Chains A and B, each alone.
Chain A
Amino acid sequence: AQSVSQHNHHVILSEAASLELGCNYSYGGTVNLFWYVQYPGQHLQLLLKYFSGDPLVKGIKGFEAEFIKSKFSFNLRKPSVQWSDTAEYFCAAHGSSNTGKLIFGQGTTLQVKP
């Protein structure tokens, strides 16, 4: 079955610390991958996406993610987090046979302490 798994449910970091959030997917065939962010009281926003090509993709606000096909992973990274990065982060996947459907991971709550 198609699935997306996020390893960390709750992460607490101090400002300026580096961030890496894990995401693994289980899909057959071609897959498109996404990271979404939900800031407190706001709606889901697209952070970055991977379709093909360079496996290292850069998104908004200094975030990047690396697609590693051999590990079925799409981890999110940021070298130095800020208090304003406190949010819920969701990894999602879309397979070519899904007719548009996104499968979401469980989400990771990131709390950045000032």
Chain B
Amino acid sequence: SAVISQKPSRDICQRGTSLTIQCQVDSQVTMMFWYRQQPGQSLTLIATANQGSEATYESGFVIDKFPISRPNLTFSTLTVSNMSPEDSSIYLCSASLTGPEQYFGPGTRLTVT
């Protein structure tokens, strides 16, 4: 398995600002992912973070709004740009090793005022 940490664990941000969330894995992983979990709802995949290349975004999510970096096999960042109250959510990082199962971080609870 993999142990995943995220920073910050929570934040309160003002409308129009940006927040960068960091995700660190305790071992080298093949794939990393970013999800959003809105209150009382399921997980929605934002993008797959690809090491050394641009992230692959799901329908409804764009790079200008959610730029992602993955400089190596253990680390990734997600930035939520030009935030609005609709971006208030829990943002989750996950990673997979050799198989399809994913291991999740504790999440970052974002509130936009």
A-side residues, CB < 8 A to B, are 32, 34, 36, 42-46, 49, 51, 90, 94, 99-102, 104-107
Interchain pairs with CB closer than 8 A, number = 48
B43 contacts the other chain (CB 8 A): yes
User: Would you call A43 and B107 a contact (CB within 8 A)?
Assistant: yes
Pick the residue among A36, A51, A101 that contacts B45 (CB under 8 A).
A101
Pick the residue among B42, B56, B101, B106 that contacts A107 (CB under 8 A).
B42
Contact A100/B42 with A32-B100, A46-B101 known, Cβ cut-off 8 Å: no
Interface size range of chain B in the complex: 20 to 34
Interface of A is mostly: loop
User: Would you call B43 and A104 a contact (CB within 8 A)?
Assistant: yes
Q: In whole angstroms, how far apart are the Cα atoms of A48 and B9 in the complex?
A: 27
Q: In whole angstroms, how far apart are the Cα atoms of A74 and B105 in the complex?
A: 25
